[in-house]
Amino acid sequence: MRTKTKQAVIPAIRDYTGFHRKQDTAYQEWLARQGVPVTRGMSVHDLNELPVGPWGDSGVLMNVVSLPATGETSDLWVMEIPPGGQLRPLHHMIHAMVFVLRGRGATSVWTAQAKKQTFEWHQGSLFAIPLNAWYEHFNGSGAQPARLAVMTNAPLAINMYPRHDFLFDNPAVFPEVYDGQEDYFSSHGEHFGQTMWKANFIADVRTHETDMYQERGAGGTNMHFSFGSSFLTAHISEFEPGTYKKGHRHGPGPHVLLLSGRGYSLTWADRKERYRIDWQAGTVYVPPNYWYHQHFNPHAGPARYLALTFPSHLVGRPLAGRLRGQPREPGDQIEYRDEDPWVMEQFARECERNGTPVKRERMTREYEESVEAPRVELM
């Protein structure tokens, strides 16, 4: 099925001359040609406040968040749909996971072999576009813009296959991924294991149920989402005021997007200076490749974040082996008993400044051993 609506037209990748050293990558050249604002750095304090600009003849405005810590494995397209507007039909050989930052609207999806399906979304919704399927986004409000945060693997895809027609005008269809079944984008998921939820559409990750997740400590909760529509995955995590999570590290690419609460995160290379990132709802940051990072909630009320990421068997390891000179100890997660005492001391000062009691007992091995995760009644 081909769309009768005018298709989106975006700036094409120019003829790439090869992967020579010291020249821009194909992705960097593509990014420069899009004509939209590009945001770099270690983090973005509020995605809702980013400036956006017209993205070709697509009908939407965009800002590409391209944080160096991703190592050009992923990026974040912050897409704004004007009041009453739409993203014109588009398809690509790029995986895309969509989170609704604000607004309400609908998305239509179809292929040459599958009829068009349309589903509605609102602030907090999460879904993935099936690979190379045609899609268009509509703003359901005539008065307010809608803003989406779309994690993609565009840097990897464009660097590997620097041809516009291959990536954005490819007739390939993947019926094993999307065949147009009626309930494909239903919000009725399947709870198929502790902290595991299978679905292609999550109505609102801000309020979605979570399970106990002892691995990161402090009585925190978690839910991992498995999407049949995309190679990309996501999970949500929540932890109480006066607590913090264990420091840990993994490979590059995950975007940590704050949904609620206020606090800070520390990130550091092994035995190096710690960098602090203050966050609130709307903040996003990407931990650098195999750097430790740790999340702290010294304010009133629980904090919840959404991680847009690659499958765990990929992000659980560094991009190209361990960093040179890094010892194997203390491992990829730092237990509370092994962390630098400065971590708790600093956190206690932050909590005192905010009038938040420190739940010290939560950050102990004894507490972890005393908590038993509830049994999940599988659907």
The answer to which of 81-95, 101-115, 298-312 has the lowest mean pLDDT is: 298-312
Supply 206's token pair.
């801000």
Specify the amino acid at residue 235. H
> Per CATH, which fold does 190-228+232-320+329-370 belong to?
Jelly Rolls (2.60.120)
* Helix or strand (DSSP H, E) at 166: helix 164-168
Q: Which of 26, 92, 22 is nearest to 55 (CA)?
A: 92
Confidence of residue 228 (pLDDT cuts 50, 70, 90): confident
Angstrom distances, CA of residue 264 to CA of 45, 106, 284, 334, 351: 11, 34, 12, 18, 12
Confidence of residue 244 (pLDDT cuts 50, 70, 90): very high
Q: Where are the domains of the chain?
A: 26-168, 190-228+232-320+329-370
Residue 365 phi, psi (nearest 5): -65, -35
Could you write out the DSSP letters of every residue in 69-94? GG-SS-EEEEEEEPTT-BPPPB--SS
pLDDT of residue 372: 66
**Contact indicator for 368, 243 with CB cutoff of 8 Å:** no
The CATH architecture of the domain made up of 26-168 is Sandwich (2.60)
For the chain, give percent helix, strand, coil, nearest 5: 15, 30, 50
* Helix or strand (DSSP H, E) at 104: strand 104-110
Measured between its terminal Cα atoms, the distance across the chain in Å is 35
Statement: the pTM of the whole predicted model exceeds 0.85: yes
Confidence of residue 180 (pLDDT cuts 50, 70, 90): very high
CB half-sphere exposure, 25, CA atoms < 13 A: 14
| CA 312 to chain CA centroid, nearest Å | 13
Do the strands 292-297 and 263-268 form a parallel or antiparallel pair, or are they unpaired? antiparallel
Specify the amino acid at residue 117. Q
Residues 289-305 have a mean pLDDT of 96
**Contact indicator for 77, 133 with CB cutoff of 8 Å:** no
pLDDT of residue 28: 94
Residues 233-252 have a mean pLDDT of 94
* Percentage of the residues of the chain whose pLDDT score is greater than 90: 75
SS3 167: helix
Longest dimension (CA), the chain: 63
**Contact indicator for 373, 194 with CB cutoff of 8 Å:** yes
Q: Residues 11-44: pLDDT tens digits?
A: 887 767 666 666 889 999 999 999 999 999 999 9
**Contact indicator for 139, 145 with CB cutoff of 8 Å:** yes
Q: Is 360 exposed, middle or buried (0-12, 13-18, 19+ CB in 10 A)?
A: middle
Examine domains 26-168 and 190-228+232-320+329-370 and report if their fold is the same: yes
